[in-house]
Structure 1
Protein backbone atom coordinates (compact mmCIF):
# COMPACT_ATOMS: atom_id res chain seq x y z
CA UNK A 1 0.00 0.00 0.00
CA UNK A 2 2.86 2.31 0.89
CA UNK A 3 4.51 1.59 -2.50
CA UNK A 4 1.28 2.27 -4.39
CA UNK A 5 0.91 5.62 -2.62
CA UNK A 6 4.56 6.57 -3.40
CA UNK A 7 4.21 5.63 -7.09
CA UNK A 8 0.95 7.56 -7.42
CA UNK A 9 2.53 10.63 -5.81
CA UNK A 10 5.54 10.43 -8.18
CA UNK A 11 3.29 10.15 -11.27
CA UNK A 12 1.29 13.21 -10.19
CA UNK A 13 4.47 15.19 -9.48
CA UNK A 14 5.97 14.26 -12.88
CA UNK A 15 2.86 15.33 -14.75
CA UNK A 16 2.95 18.78 -13.09
CA UNK A 17 6.67 19.34 -13.78
CA UNK A 18 6.30 18.30 -17.43
CA UNK A 19 3.50 20.83 -17.92
CA UNK A 20 5.50 23.56 -16.19
CA UNK A 21 8.46 23.04 -18.54
CA UNK A 22 6.44 22.80 -21.79
CA UNK A 23 7.34 25.43 -24.41
CA UNK A 24 4.74 27.28 -26.48
CA UNK A 25 5.87 27.97 -30.05
CA UNK A 26 4.31 30.51 -32.39
CA UNK A 27 3.07 29.58 -35.87
CA UNK A 28 5.32 29.00 -38.84
CA UNK A 29 6.98 31.97 -40.53
CA UNK A 30 4.91 33.21 -43.47
CA UNK A 31 8.07 33.53 -45.63
CA UNK A 32 10.10 30.43 -44.89
CA UNK A 33 13.84 30.37 -45.39
CA UNK A 34 15.26 28.49 -48.34
CA UNK A 35 18.64 27.59 -49.82
CA UNK A 36 19.38 27.29 -53.54
CA UNK A 37 22.68 25.55 -54.33
CA UNK A 38 24.46 24.93 -57.62
CA UNK A 39 24.95 22.28 -58.85
CA UNK A 40 21.39 21.55 -57.75
CA UNK A 41 21.85 17.76 -57.70
CA UNK A 42 21.83 16.77 -54.03
CA UNK A 43 24.32 13.98 -54.81
CA UNK A 44 26.99 16.55 -55.73
CA UNK A 45 28.69 17.69 -52.53
CA UNK A 46 31.21 20.05 -54.19
CA UNK A 47 28.91 23.07 -54.62
CA UNK A 48 29.92 26.20 -56.53
CA UNK A 49 27.19 28.59 -55.32
CA UNK A 50 24.79 28.73 -52.38
CA UNK A 51 22.07 31.37 -51.89
CA UNK A 52 20.33 31.62 -48.52
CA UNK A 53 17.12 33.63 -48.68
CA UNK A 54 13.56 33.95 -47.43
CA UNK A 55 10.59 33.48 -49.76
CA UNK A 56 8.02 36.29 -49.71
CA UNK A 57 4.64 35.45 -51.20
CA UNK A 58 2.50 37.61 -53.45
CA UNK A 59 -0.84 36.60 -51.87
CA UNK A 60 -2.78 38.72 -54.35
CA UNK A 61 -0.32 41.64 -54.29
CA UNK A 62 1.86 42.80 -57.18
CA UNK A 63 5.63 42.50 -57.34
CA UNK A 64 5.86 46.29 -57.63
CA UNK A 65 4.19 46.64 -54.21
CA UNK A 66 6.76 44.39 -52.54
CA UNK A 67 9.85 45.16 -54.66
CA UNK A 68 9.33 48.63 -56.19
CA UNK A 69 11.06 49.41 -59.48
CA UNK A 70 14.14 51.61 -59.16
CA UNK A 71 14.65 50.92 -55.44
CA UNK A 72 17.17 48.59 -53.78
CA UNK A 73 15.42 45.39 -52.70
CA UNK A 74 16.76 42.74 -50.29
CA UNK A 75 15.95 40.01 -52.86
CA UNK A 76 13.60 38.05 -50.67
CA UNK A 77 12.03 38.67 -47.28
CA UNK A 78 13.34 39.28 -43.77
CA UNK A 79 17.16 39.38 -43.72
CA UNK A 80 18.94 40.29 -46.92
CA UNK A 81 19.71 37.23 -49.03
CA UNK A 82 23.32 36.02 -48.90
CA UNK A 83 25.17 34.34 -51.73
CA UNK A 84 28.35 32.31 -51.36
CA UNK A 85 30.71 31.61 -54.24
CA UNK A 86 33.03 28.72 -53.41
CA UNK A 87 35.29 29.51 -56.40
CA UNK A 88 36.21 32.67 -58.26
CA UNK A 89 33.63 33.36 -60.97
CA UNK A 90 32.69 35.70 -63.78
CA UNK A 91 29.27 37.23 -63.10
CA UNK A 92 27.65 38.95 -66.10
CA UNK A 93 31.13 39.47 -67.55
CA UNK A 94 32.77 40.82 -64.38
CA UNK A 95 35.31 38.96 -62.24
CA UNK A 96 34.26 38.09 -58.67
CA UNK A 97 36.43 36.57 -55.94
CA UNK A 98 35.16 33.58 -54.00
CA UNK A 99 33.38 34.62 -50.82
CA UNK A 100 30.02 35.43 -49.23
CA UNK A 101 28.09 38.56 -50.13
CA UNK A 102 24.71 40.11 -49.41
CA UNK A 103 22.50 39.90 -52.50
CA UNK A 104 20.40 42.93 -53.44
CA UNK A 105 18.57 43.80 -56.62
CA UNK A 106 17.05 46.90 -58.17
CA UNK A 107 13.94 45.81 -60.11
CA UNK A 108 13.24 47.31 -63.51
CA UNK A 109 10.90 46.63 -66.39
CA UNK A 110 13.45 45.36 -68.94
CA UNK A 111 16.45 44.66 -66.71
CA UNK A 112 17.23 44.34 -63.03
CA UNK A 113 20.50 45.40 -61.42
CA UNK A 114 22.06 42.68 -59.29
CA UNK A 115 24.21 43.94 -56.42
CA UNK A 116 26.69 41.95 -54.35
CA UNK A 117 27.61 43.77 -51.16
CA UNK A 118 30.38 42.95 -48.66
CA UNK A 119 28.28 43.80 -45.56
CA UNK A 120 26.66 40.64 -44.20
CA UNK A 121 23.86 39.97 -41.71
CA UNK A 122 21.74 42.89 -42.84
CA UNK A 123 18.03 43.12 -42.09
CA UNK A 124 16.22 43.95 -45.30
CA UNK A 125 17.67 46.80 -47.33
CA UNK A 126 17.41 49.29 -44.46
CA UNK A 127 21.13 49.22 -43.68
CA UNK A 128 22.27 48.85 -47.31
CA UNK A 129 25.34 50.97 -48.10
CA UNK A 130 26.28 51.48 -51.73
CA UNK A 131 29.90 52.11 -50.67
CA UNK A 132 30.13 48.42 -49.65
CA UNK A 133 29.15 47.15 -53.12
CA UNK A 134 31.58 44.67 -54.63
CA UNK A 135 29.68 44.15 -57.87
CA UNK A 136 26.76 45.78 -59.73
CA UNK A 137 25.67 44.09 -62.96
CA UNK A 138 22.60 44.03 -65.19
CA UNK A 139 20.40 40.92 -65.41
CA UNK A 140 17.87 40.21 -68.15
CA UNK A 141 14.14 40.04 -67.52
CA UNK A 142 11.74 37.67 -69.26
CA UNK A 143 8.23 36.33 -68.68
CA UNK A 144 7.54 32.80 -67.49
CA UNK A 145 4.44 30.83 -68.42
CA UNK A 146 3.87 29.70 -64.84
CA UNK A 147 3.05 32.25 -62.14
CA UNK A 148 4.96 31.72 -58.88
CA UNK A 149 3.26 33.01 -55.72
CA UNK A 150 6.40 32.43 -53.63
CA UNK A 151 9.66 34.13 -54.69
CA UNK A 152 12.07 31.40 -55.81
CA UNK A 153 15.66 31.00 -56.95
CA UNK A 154 16.79 28.29 -59.37
CA UNK A 155 19.60 27.60 -61.83
CA UNK A 156 19.64 26.89 -65.56
CA UNK A 157 22.77 25.19 -66.89
CA UNK A 158 24.77 26.86 -69.64
CA UNK A 159 28.21 26.31 -71.16
CA UNK A 160 30.87 26.46 -68.38
CA UNK A 161 28.43 27.73 -65.79
CA UNK A 162 24.85 28.55 -64.99
CA UNK A 163 22.22 31.22 -65.09
CA UNK A 164 20.98 32.14 -61.63
CA UNK A 165 17.24 32.67 -62.15
CA UNK A 166 15.02 34.69 -59.82
CA UNK A 167 11.35 33.89 -60.31
CA UNK A 168 8.28 35.61 -58.90
CA UNK A 169 4.85 35.97 -60.43
CA UNK A 170 5.56 35.69 -64.17
CA UNK A 171 8.84 37.63 -63.88
CA UNK A 172 12.10 35.76 -64.50
CA UNK A 173 15.44 37.49 -63.92
CA UNK A 174 18.49 35.72 -65.34
CA UNK A 175 22.11 36.32 -64.30
CA UNK A 176 24.91 34.47 -66.17
CA UNK A 177 27.69 33.00 -64.00
CA UNK A 178 30.78 31.29 -65.46
CA UNK A 179 33.46 29.36 -63.55
Structure 2
Protein backbone atom coordinates (compact mmCIF):
# COMPACT_ATOMS: atom_id res chain seq x y z
CA UNK A 1 0.00 0.00 0.00
CA UNK A 2 2.85 2.36 0.87
CA UNK A 3 4.44 1.75 -2.59
CA UNK A 4 1.15 2.49 -4.35
CA UNK A 5 0.83 5.75 -2.42
CA UNK A 6 4.43 6.79 -3.27
CA UNK A 7 3.94 5.96 -6.98
CA UNK A 8 0.64 7.88 -7.07
CA UNK A 9 2.25 10.84 -5.31
CA UNK A 10 5.19 10.87 -7.75
CA UNK A 11 2.84 10.68 -10.75
CA UNK A 12 0.78 13.54 -9.39
CA UNK A 13 3.94 15.60 -8.72
CA UNK A 14 5.13 14.97 -12.31
CA UNK A 15 1.81 16.17 -13.71
CA UNK A 16 1.94 19.41 -11.73
CA UNK A 17 5.65 20.01 -12.35
CA UNK A 18 5.10 19.53 -16.10
CA UNK A 19 2.39 22.17 -15.96
CA UNK A 20 4.72 24.58 -14.17
CA UNK A 21 7.53 24.05 -16.70
CA UNK A 22 5.29 24.28 -19.78
CA UNK A 23 5.36 28.07 -19.73
CA UNK A 24 4.70 30.26 -22.77
CA UNK A 25 7.48 32.74 -23.54
CA UNK A 26 7.17 35.74 -25.78
CA UNK A 27 8.96 35.73 -29.13
CA UNK A 28 12.46 36.96 -29.70
CA UNK A 29 12.84 40.72 -29.32
CA UNK A 30 12.77 42.41 -32.72
CA UNK A 31 15.47 44.83 -31.50
CA UNK A 32 17.69 42.69 -29.28
CA UNK A 33 19.99 44.15 -26.66
CA UNK A 34 23.69 44.31 -27.34
CA UNK A 35 26.69 45.87 -25.67
CA UNK A 36 30.08 47.15 -26.66
CA UNK A 37 33.02 47.86 -24.40
CA UNK A 38 36.59 49.08 -24.40
CA UNK A 39 38.77 47.21 -24.13
CA UNK A 40 36.62 44.62 -25.86
CA UNK A 41 38.74 41.64 -24.79
CA UNK A 42 36.71 39.72 -22.21
CA UNK A 43 39.94 38.65 -20.48
CA UNK A 44 40.59 42.28 -19.54
CA UNK A 45 38.68 43.16 -16.39
CA UNK A 46 39.88 46.78 -16.25
CA UNK A 47 37.26 48.30 -18.57
CA UNK A 48 37.10 51.99 -19.40
CA UNK A 49 33.63 52.13 -20.95
CA UNK A 50 30.66 49.89 -21.73
CA UNK A 51 27.40 50.70 -23.48
CA UNK A 52 24.23 48.60 -23.47
CA UNK A 53 21.73 49.42 -26.21
CA UNK A 54 18.89 48.07 -28.36
CA UNK A 55 19.68 47.24 -32.00
CA UNK A 56 16.82 48.33 -34.28
CA UNK A 57 16.79 47.13 -37.89
CA UNK A 58 16.17 49.22 -40.99
CA UNK A 59 13.81 46.64 -42.57
CA UNK A 60 13.42 48.73 -45.73
CA UNK A 61 12.80 51.96 -43.83
CA UNK A 62 14.85 55.15 -44.16
CA UNK A 63 17.21 56.15 -41.35
CA UNK A 64 15.74 59.66 -41.46
CA UNK A 65 12.33 58.16 -40.65
CA UNK A 66 13.64 56.21 -37.65
CA UNK A 67 16.04 58.85 -36.29
CA UNK A 68 14.66 62.20 -37.52
CA UNK A 69 17.09 65.12 -37.87
CA UNK A 70 16.75 67.80 -35.23
CA UNK A 71 14.79 65.61 -32.78
CA UNK A 72 16.04 63.90 -29.63
CA UNK A 73 16.45 60.20 -30.46
CA UNK A 74 16.79 57.29 -28.07
CA UNK A 75 19.97 56.15 -29.90
CA UNK A 76 18.82 52.61 -30.55
CA UNK A 77 15.60 50.84 -29.70
CA UNK A 78 13.46 50.38 -26.61
CA UNK A 79 15.02 51.83 -23.46
CA UNK A 80 17.54 54.65 -23.79
CA UNK A 81 21.03 53.14 -23.95
CA UNK A 82 23.11 53.24 -20.81
CA UNK A 83 26.80 54.05 -21.04
CA UNK A 84 29.06 53.32 -18.08
CA UNK A 85 32.45 54.94 -17.62
CA UNK A 86 34.52 53.00 -15.11
CA UNK A 87 36.93 55.91 -14.65
CA UNK A 88 36.84 59.63 -15.26
CA UNK A 89 37.17 60.43 -18.99
CA UNK A 90 37.04 63.29 -21.43
CA UNK A 91 34.00 62.64 -23.60
CA UNK A 92 34.04 64.68 -26.80
CA UNK A 93 35.92 67.52 -25.09
CA UNK A 94 33.95 67.49 -21.82
CA UNK A 95 35.24 66.01 -18.56
CA UNK A 96 32.87 63.30 -17.31
CA UNK A 97 33.05 61.53 -13.94
CA UNK A 98 32.94 57.75 -13.70
CA UNK A 99 29.32 56.59 -13.60
CA UNK A 100 26.37 55.41 -15.67
CA UNK A 101 24.41 57.75 -17.93
CA UNK A 102 21.60 57.57 -20.47
CA UNK A 103 22.84 58.19 -24.02
CA UNK A 104 20.62 60.21 -26.33
CA UNK A 105 21.37 61.90 -29.65
CA UNK A 106 20.01 64.59 -31.94
CA UNK A 107 20.81 63.55 -35.53
CA UNK A 108 22.00 66.15 -38.00
CA UNK A 109 23.35 66.12 -41.53
CA UNK A 110 26.99 66.98 -40.74
CA UNK A 111 27.13 66.30 -37.01
CA UNK A 112 25.03 64.79 -34.26
CA UNK A 113 24.55 66.17 -30.79
CA UNK A 114 25.42 63.39 -28.34
CA UNK A 115 23.90 63.75 -24.89
CA UNK A 116 24.90 62.08 -21.63
CA UNK A 117 21.88 62.37 -19.35
CA UNK A 118 21.62 61.63 -15.63
CA UNK A 119 18.07 60.18 -15.74
CA UNK A 120 18.36 56.41 -16.16
CA UNK A 121 15.67 53.80 -16.79
CA UNK A 122 13.75 55.82 -19.34
CA UNK A 123 11.82 54.34 -22.22
CA UNK A 124 13.36 55.76 -25.34
CA UNK A 125 13.58 59.54 -25.38
CA UNK A 126 9.89 60.12 -24.73
CA UNK A 127 10.50 61.44 -21.22
CA UNK A 128 13.52 63.58 -22.05
CA UNK A 129 12.49 67.13 -21.33
CA UNK A 130 15.03 68.63 -18.99
CA UNK A 131 18.38 69.79 -20.37
CA UNK A 132 19.33 70.64 -16.79
CA UNK A 133 19.83 66.90 -16.21
CA UNK A 134 22.36 66.68 -19.07
CA UNK A 135 25.82 65.76 -17.84
CA UNK A 136 27.40 66.60 -21.21
CA UNK A 137 26.37 67.63 -24.71
CA UNK A 138 29.03 67.14 -27.36
CA UNK A 139 29.16 67.06 -31.14
CA UNK A 140 29.96 63.88 -33.06
CA UNK A 141 31.12 64.26 -36.64
CA UNK A 142 29.21 62.42 -39.39
CA UNK A 143 30.94 60.39 -42.09
CA UNK A 144 29.60 57.91 -44.61
CA UNK A 145 30.63 54.26 -44.62
CA UNK A 146 31.14 52.10 -47.69
CA UNK A 147 28.54 49.53 -46.71
CA UNK A 148 25.11 49.80 -45.19
CA UNK A 149 24.50 48.42 -41.71
CA UNK A 150 21.03 46.87 -41.38
CA UNK A 151 21.17 47.00 -37.57
CA UNK A 152 22.16 50.02 -35.50
CA UNK A 153 25.60 49.28 -34.05
CA UNK A 154 28.14 50.76 -31.64
CA UNK A 155 31.86 49.96 -31.62
CA UNK A 156 35.02 51.42 -30.13
CA UNK A 157 38.01 52.25 -32.31
CA UNK A 158 41.34 52.67 -30.56
CA UNK A 159 43.18 55.95 -31.25
CA UNK A 160 46.20 57.57 -29.64
CA UNK A 161 45.30 58.53 -26.08
CA UNK A 162 41.89 56.88 -26.09
CA UNK A 163 39.11 55.57 -28.32
CA UNK A 164 36.37 56.80 -30.58
CA UNK A 165 32.88 55.57 -29.84
CA UNK A 166 31.49 54.97 -33.32
CA UNK A 167 27.75 54.64 -33.88
CA UNK A 168 26.67 53.32 -37.26
CA UNK A 169 23.42 52.69 -39.06
CA UNK A 170 22.78 52.47 -42.78
CA UNK A 171 25.84 54.26 -44.21
CA UNK A 172 25.97 56.92 -41.49
CA UNK A 173 28.84 56.82 -39.00
CA UNK A 174 29.09 59.15 -36.00
CA UNK A 175 32.28 59.26 -33.92
CA UNK A 176 32.85 60.78 -30.48
CA UNK A 177 36.36 60.79 -28.96
CA UNK A 178 36.82 59.42 -25.46
CA UNK A 179 40.19 60.29 -23.90
CA UNK A 180 41.50 58.78 -20.70
Calculate the TM-score normalised by the size of structure 1. Answer: 0.92
Q: Could you say which residue in structure 2 is the equivalent of 1:148?
A: 149
Q: How many pairs are equivalent?
A: 178
Structure 1 distance, partners of 2:5, 2:100, is 60
Structure 1 distance, partners of 2:94, 2:2, is 79
Structure 1 stretch 145-154 or stretch 12-21: which is displaced more?
12-21
Q: Could you say which residue in structure 2 is the equivalent of 1:78?
A: 78
Q: Could you say which residue in structure 2 is the equivalent of 1:63?
A: 63
Q: Could you say which residue in structure 1 is the equivalent of 2:13?
A: 14
Moved over 6 A (4+): none
Q: Could you say which residue in structure 1 is the equivalent of 2:29?
A: 29
Structure 2 distance, partners of 1:11, 1:87, is 56
Structure 2 distance, partners of 1:168, 1:10, is 58
- Structure 1 residue matching 2:13: 3-state secondary structure: helix
- Structure 1 residue matching 2:103: 3-state secondary structure: strand
Q: What's the CA shift for 1:18?
A: 2.3
Please report the RMSD computed on the Cα atoms of aligned residues, expressed in angstroms.
1.6
Q: Could you say which residue in structure 2 is the equivalent of 1:106?
A: 106
Structure 1: state its 5+ residue gaps. none
Calculate the TM-score normalised by the size of structure 2. Answer: 0.92
